[in-house]
Structure 1
Amino acid sequence: MVKLLRFLHPYRFLIPVELTMIFLQSLANLYLPTLMSDIVDFGIVKGNVPYIFRMGTWMLLVTVGGAACSVLGSLLASRISAGFGHRLRAEVFAHVTRFSLQEFDHVGTASLITRTTNDVTQVQQMVNMMLRMMVMAPLSCIGGIIMAVVTNAKLSVIIVIVVPVLAFTVAVIFRRGMAWFRQMQAKIDQLNRVLRENLTGIRVIRAFNRIEHERRRFDAASRDLTETAVTVNKIMAALWPVMMLIINFATIAILWFGAVRIDHGAMQVGNLMAFLQYVMQIFFAIMMVSMMSFMIPRASASAARIQEVLALRPAVADPPQAAEPVPAVATRPSAPDAVRLAAPYAAEVPARLAAPHAAEVPARHGVVTFEGVTFRYPGAEAPALAGITFTASPGEVTAIIGSTGAGKTTLVHLLLRFYDAERGSIRIDGVDVRDMKQADLRRRIAYVPQRTVLFSGSVADNVRYGKEDATDDEVRAALAMAQAIDFVEAMEGGIHAEVAQAGTNLSGGQKQRIAIARALVRNADIYVFDDSFSALDYKTDARLRQAIRQALRGATVIIVAQRVATVMDADQIIVLDEGRMAGIGRHAELLATCPVYREIVASQLAGEGIA
C-alpha cells in the first residue's frame, strides 16, 4: 500500500490544505462540549439568559465553521482520491500494455481486468477514507482523552479501562479479516474469468447445448465467492455489537459514577454532559478506525495485487541503445493504382478510384532471416520450435505450412517479438530484432492475426487502425485488394457503416477480409498473414492472393496457412513438423523431396480435390 502512495505526488500541495480543514473540524468538535458545559453551568443553572444567548451564538458560529471545514475537507479528499485512482489505473494499464504474451499468460486476462478496475477502486476508497480519518480519528481520540481528563480526572479511569478493550477487539477482528479478504479478491478473479468465458463463448455454448453446464459452473464460482463474503461479513459484523456493548456499559458507568460525584458536590451537571460527549468522541474515533478495518484488509490485498502487476518486468523489453531503424521506402503503389492492381477485381471497383498508370516499384527493405531459432514456452518440456533457419526476401512470397501445433503461429510471434527466442537470432536487414525498439520493429510489419479481432466503430475506423491518416480512397483501395469492397459498399453507410463489438454483425469471412484490409492499408516492409484466408472460399482466396502478389510485389510477404491451395504458388514454402523444419522449397520440389509435404498434399487432394 505504501509503495502506491507515490501516485499522490501531484496533490502534495492539496493534501496539507485538506488535512488542515479536517484538523479545524476536529478542533471545533472538541470545543463544542466545553461551550455546552459553560451554557449549562453558568447560564441555565444560574438563570443568566444574556450569557446563554452570547455563548449560544458563539457555539452556533463554531458549529457552522466546523461544518464548512468538513464540507471543504470532504470535497478535497474526494478530488485527491479520484485523481489518485485515475493515475494509478492509467499506470497499471500503461504497464500492462508493455507486457509480452508471457506476462499475460502468467497473470491471466481476467485477473488483469479485475486488478485494473475492482482493485484500483478498493485502494482509491481507502485513500479517501485515510485522508479524512487519519487526522480526525487520532485527534478526536487523543484530544477527547485530554479534555475528558481536564473535565474530571477521576472519572477518566473508565476511559483508561475501556479504550484498550476496544482497541484489542478491533485488532483481533482486523487480523482475522485480512486473510479472508485476500481470498475474496482471488475468487472475484475466478468469477470474472468464468463470466468472461461465458460471454465470449456464448455461440459455442449454445451450439453444444452446454448452457446448463455453464450455469452450474457460474453458480459454483458465485457460490464460492458468496460463502467467502458471508464469512468475512460475519467476522466484521461481530465488531459492531461487541463495540456497542462495551460503549453502552461505559456510558452506564459514566452516568452512574458521575451522578454519585454530582450528588457529593464534586462535579457539576454541565461537566458530566461535556465529559460524556468527550467519551463519545473517543468512542466515535475508535469506531472510525473500526470502519477503516473493514476496508484496510481488502484494500491492502488489492494494493498487493496491483503492486505485483507493477513489479512485473516484461520479458521482452527494448534494449538500452536500440539500433537505428532502417528508413522505410515508400514502395506501395498509390491508392488508386493499388485498386487497379487488384485485378481481376478492379472492374468491380467504382470508376472514380481507377488510375491510368501504375506506380514504379523501387527496391525495398525487409529481408527477414531466421538463423538456428529455438524457442520453448515457459514450463514446457519440449521446444515449440527448434533449429529454424530460412530467409524471406523482398519481392517474394514465403509460405509456412504444417499440421496443427507444428509451430507456425509461434514462428510469427517470434518475428513480431511477442516472445524472444531461446537460442538463435531473428534479423531484419541484418539487425537482430532484440536490438531494435519494439515500436520500430512493428512499424515495419503489417500483421493479420490468426484470430480476427475487430473493434467497435466504423469499417473505415477498423481499416485505419493500420494507418491512422489513411484517406477514404486508401481505405477503399485496401478493401478492394482484400476482396471486401463489394459487401462493404452494400452496407448502410458504406465504409462508414458501423461494426459491432468484436464484429458480431459480420460473418467470419467478412471479418477476416476487413482485418486483411487493415494490414494492406499500411505502408510496411513486411506483411504477415497468419492463417488469414481460412474463412475464404477458394475463388476469393485465389483473387486475394493474386491482388496481394501484384500490389505488394516489392515487399516481403509471409503467409501462414494449412491449405495447400493457399501456398502452392509461393516463391518458397517452409514445411514445419513438430517444431522443426521438414523441408523448404517450391511446391514441385517439395512434392519430390519432402514426405511430410506429400502427406499434407495427399490428404487435401483426397478431401478437397486440389489440382
Structure 2
Amino acid sequence: MIKLFRYLRKKDWLFVCISLCFIVFQVWLDLRLPDYMAEITRLIQTPDSALSSVVWAGMKMLACAILSMAAMFVVGYFVAQVAAGLSKRLREAVYDKVISFSMEEMGKFSTASLITRSTNDISQVQMVIAIGLQASVRAPIMAVWAITKIINKNLMWSAATGVAVAFLLVLIAVIFVLVVPGFQKMQTLTDNINRVARENLSGVRVVRAYNAEKYQEDKFEEANEELTSVNLFNQKIMALMSPVMTLISSGLTLSIYWIGVYLIDKAALQDKITLFSDMIVFSSYAMQVIMSFMMLTFTFIILPRAIVSSKRINEVLDTKNRIMDGEGCENTSETGTVEFRNVSFHYPDAADDIISDINFKANKGEMVAFIGATGSGKTTLINLIPRFYDVTGGEVLVDGVNVKKYKLSELRKKIGYAPQKALLFSGTVEENVCYGADTPDSERLNEALEISQAKEFVEKLTDNVKSKISQGAVNVSGGQKQRLSIARSLYNKPEILIFDDSFSALDYRTDKILRKELRERSKGSTSLIVAQRIGTIMEADLIIVLEEGRIVGQGKHKELLKSCPIYKEIAMSQLSEEEL
C-alpha cells in the first residue's frame, strides 16, 4: 500500500504535516482534561475551597474540549483532501495504464476485474486513508503519552492496564490473521459478481429469447451467495471486537476502582484524598489508552481489505507494457505498402503458432483480401499491422519500415480500422465518425458517410449527424453500426484501410455499392479486407487463402478457382458457376 503514496503531491504531504501537528495538539488537549478533573476533585474535597477556583478549573476543561473538537474538524478536512486527491489520481493512473495496454496485457485482466479495481478497490484505499490515517496516527501518540503519564502513579494500576493492553493486542493479531484471507477472497468474488451481472445485462436479449431467466438468476444467486458467505464470516469475526473491547474497557475500569478502594482503605487519613484524586486521573488516562487501541482496532478492521485492494491496484500499475513505442520514422521510401516477411505468431502461453510463414506484399492502392475457415488466423494476421500484438517471428513492414520502429501514434495515424465487431460510443453520429479528430470537418464527414452508404439513413434521423447514439448503440441496427464503423475508418483518409469482416451485416446490394464507391473514391488507400463472402472479395487485386494459419493459395479470383481447391470449395458453396 505504501507504493501508492507515490501519487501524493507536495501539497498533500503538507496537508499530512498540518494534520499531524493538529493531532498532537488534540492529544495534548485531551490529556489535559484528567489533570483538570483531578484539580476539581481536590478542590471539592479540600475545606474552604473557593467556588471561583472550581469554576475556573471547569472553564479550562470546557476550553480544552472545544479546542479539541476544533482541531478534530481541521484534521478531518485536511485528511479528506488528501484521501480524495489520492483516489482521483489513482483512478486517472489506472485508466491511463489500461488505455496503454496491448491486447496481451488486456488478456491478463478481465473487464469485470478492471472495473472493480478502478472503482471499489480505489474506494477501499480512500476510506482507509480518510478514516484510518487519523486513528493510526492519533492512537499511538495518545497511548504512549498516556502511558508516560500513569506509569509511575501506582504499580498495581499499571499492571492492570498492561494486562488489558496485552489482551487487546492478542485480539487484534488473531482477528487480523483470520480476516485478511477472507478480504482477499472478497475482492475476487466482487469481480465475479460484477462479471455475472455484466453478462446478464449485456446479453439480456439472448437471455429472454431462450427463456433463460431462471438459469441466469441461479448463476447470479450462486455468485451472490458465495460473496455473502465470505462477507458474513468476516463480519462475524469483526463483530466479536465490539463486545470484547467493551468487556476489556469495563473490566479495566472495575479493576482500577477495586484496587483504588483497597489502597484508600489501607492508606492514612491525610493520603486518602490524594489517592482518590489519583484514582480518578488514572482511570481517565487508562481509558485514553484503551480508547487509543480501540481506534487502532477500528483501523485494523478496514485495513486488511484496503491492503488487498492496494495490491490489486499495483498489479495493474506495475504491469509492464510489452508493446512500446519505437524510435520513430518520419521519412519512408514507400507509401501505403504493407509487407509480411516470414511472419509467425503465437499467443502468450500458447504452445503452437496461430499463423506461420506468412509472406505477401500489398502495394499502394491495391485491395488485398483474406479468406479461410473460421479460426484460420485471418483476424490475427491483420491485428499484427497496427501492433495490437507483436510478431514472434519474421517482420511486418508498413511503407517499407518494420512496424516496431514506428511510434505507435505515428503508425496508427496511417491506418483506418473497422473491427470485426462494430463498436459505437455513446454520443452523436458526428462524434463517432470523426472519432479522435480535434475539430470535425463537415466535408470529410459527408464524404465518409457517402462512401460507407450511411448517409441515406443518417439524413432520416431526427437531428441528422447530431443525432444521439445510445450506450451500446442499441438504437441502430447491426448494418447501420457497420456502416458508421466503416465511415469512421474512412474519415481521416488513411494510407491503409483494414476491414475485419466489416461487411458481414450488409445486404448484397449495399455491399456491392460500398465496394464500388470504395474503389473509385479511395484509390490512394491500400485496402486489406477480411471476409467470408466470395462476392465481397471477387474483385480484389490479391486474394490470400488461409488454412490453419498458413497460406494455401494466393492470386486473383479466377486464378484461385483453378489453382486452389479450398478457395473453389468455399466459392462453390456460396455462388453458382454462372455467378462465379
- Structure 1 residue 461: Cα displacement: 0.8
Aligned to 2:285: 278
Whole-angstrom CA distance in 2 between matches of 1:448 and 1:468: 20
Aligned to 2:328: 323
Whole-angstrom CA distance in 2 between matches of 1:248 and 1:609: 97
- Alignment of 1:314 with 2:343, yes or no, is no
Aligned runs of 1:156-195 on 2, under 5 Å? 156-195=158-197
Contact map agreement 1:158 1:253 (CA 8 A) in 2: yes
- Alignment of 1:93 with 2:117, yes or no, is no
- Structure 1 residue 604: Cα displacement: 0.8
What letter is aligned with 2:6?
Answer: R
Contact map agreement 1:41 1:268 (CA 8 A) in 2: no
Aligned to 1:260: 262
SS in 2 for 1:394: coil
- Structure 1 residue 420: Cα displacement: 0.6
Whole-angstrom CA distance in 2 between matches of 1:539 and 1:466: 31
Aligned runs of 1:348-387 on 2, under 5 Å? 365-387=335-357
What letter is aligned with 2:316?
Answer: V
SS in 2 for 1:390: strand
Instruction: Please list the CA deviations of residues 257-284 of structure 1 after superposition, one character each: whole Å capped at 9, or x if unmatched.
Output: 1223334344444432222221111111
Of all paired residues, the percent bearing the same amino acid is 39
- Structure 1 residue 44: Cα displacement: 6.5
Of residues 100-109 and 217-226 in structure 1, the stretch that sits farther from structure 2 once superposed is: 100-109
Whole-angstrom CA distance in 1 between matches of 2:18 and 2:530: 62
Of residues 259-268 and 116-125 in structure 1, the stretch that sits farther from structure 2 once superposed is: 259-268
SS in 2 for 1:378: coil
1:372 and 1:278, CA in 2 relative to 1: closer, same or farther beyond 3 A?
same
Aligned to 2:382: 412
Whole-angstrom CA distance in 2 between matches of 1:595 and 1:466: 43
Instruction: Please list the CA deviations of residues 202-240 of structure 1 after superposition, one character each: whole Å capped at 9, or x if unmatched.
Output: 222222222211111111011011111111111111222
- Structure 1 residue 151: Cα displacement: 4.7
- Alignment of 1:233 with 2:203, yes or no, is no
Aligned to 1:349: none
Aligned runs of 1:36-435 on 2, under 5 Å? 36-43=37-44, 45-46=46-47, 47-263=49-265, 264=267, 265-266=271-272, 267-319=274-326, 322-326=327-331, 365-435=335-405
Whole-angstrom CA distance in 2 between matches of 1:102 and 1:45: 81
Residue 462 of structure 1: which of 425, 432, 453 is its match?
432
TM-score using structure 2 length? 0.95
Residue 546 of structure 1: which of 487, 510, 516 is its match?
516
Aligned to 2:27: 26
Please report the RMSD computed on the Cα atoms of aligned residues, expressed in angstroms: 1.8
Contact map agreement 2:4 2:314 (CA 8 A) in 1: yes
TM-score using structure 1 length? 0.91
Aligned to 2:533: 563
- Structure 1 residue 466: Cα displacement: 4.7
Aligned to 1:347: none
- Alignment of 1:529 with 2:519, yes or no, is no
Whole-angstrom CA distance in 1 between matches of 2:541 and 2:13: 63
What letter is aligned with 2:104?
Answer: Q
- Structure 1 residue 60: Cα displacement: 1.9
Instruction: Please list the CA deviations of residues 87-136 of structure 1 after superposition, one character each: whole Å capped at 9, or x if unmatched.
Output: 11211111111111111112222111111111111112112234212321
1:89 and 1:406, CA in 2 relative to 1: closer, same or farther beyond 3 A?
same
Contact map agreement 1:392 1:556 (CA 8 A) in 2: yes
Aligned to 2:7: 7
Instruction: Please list the CA deviations of residues 516-549 of structure 1 after superposition, one character each: whole Å capped at 9, or x if unmatched.
Output: 1111111311111111111000000111111111
Contact map agreement 1:402 1:577 (CA 8 A) in 2: yes
Instruction: Please list the CA deviations of residues 572-592 of structure 1 after superposition, one character each: whole Å capped at 9, or x if unmatched.
Output: 111111111111111111111
Instruction: Please list the CA deviations of residues 387-432 of structure 1 after superposition, one character each: whole Å capped at 9, or x if unmatched.
Output: 1111111111111111111111111111111111110100011211
What letter is aligned with 1:288?
Answer: M
Contact map agreement 1:44 1:52 (CA 8 A) in 2: no
SS in 2 for 1:398: strand
Contact map agreement 1:414 1:421 (CA 8 A) in 2: yes
1:477 and 1:466, CA in 2 relative to 1: closer, same or farther beyond 3 A?
farther
SS in 1 for 2:283: helix
What letter is aligned with 1:499?
Answer: I
- Structure 1 residue 558: Cα displacement: 0.8
Whole-angstrom CA distance in 1 between matches of 2:475 and 2:276: 78
Which blocks of at least 5 consecutive residues in structure 2 are unaligned? none
1:590 and 1:466, CA in 2 relative to 1: closer, same or farther beyond 3 A?
farther
Contact map agreement 1:474 1:521 (CA 8 A) in 2: yes
Size of the alignment, in residue pairs? 573
Whole-angstrom CA distance in 2 between matches of 1:523 and 1:469: 15
Whole-angstrom CA distance in 1 between matches of 2:521 and 2:437: 17
SS in 2 for 1:246: helix
- Structure 1 residue 145: Cα displacement: 1.4
1:386 and 1:105, CA in 2 relative to 1: closer, same or farther beyond 3 A?
same
Whole-angstrom CA distance in 1 between matches of 2:54 and 2:329: 83
- Alignment of 1:447 with 2:449, yes or no, is no
- Structure 1 residue 447: Cα displacement: 0.3
- Structure 1 residue 364: Cα displacement: 7.9
SS in 1 for 2:394: strand
- Structure 1 residue 323: Cα displacement: 2.9
- Structure 1 residue 494: Cα displacement: 0.7
Residue 598 of structure 1: which of 557, 568, 572 is its match?
568
- Structure 1 residue 150: Cα displacement: 4.9
Contact map agreement 2:334 2:399 (CA 8 A) in 1: no
Whole-angstrom CA distance in 1 between matches of 2:254 and 2:578: 95
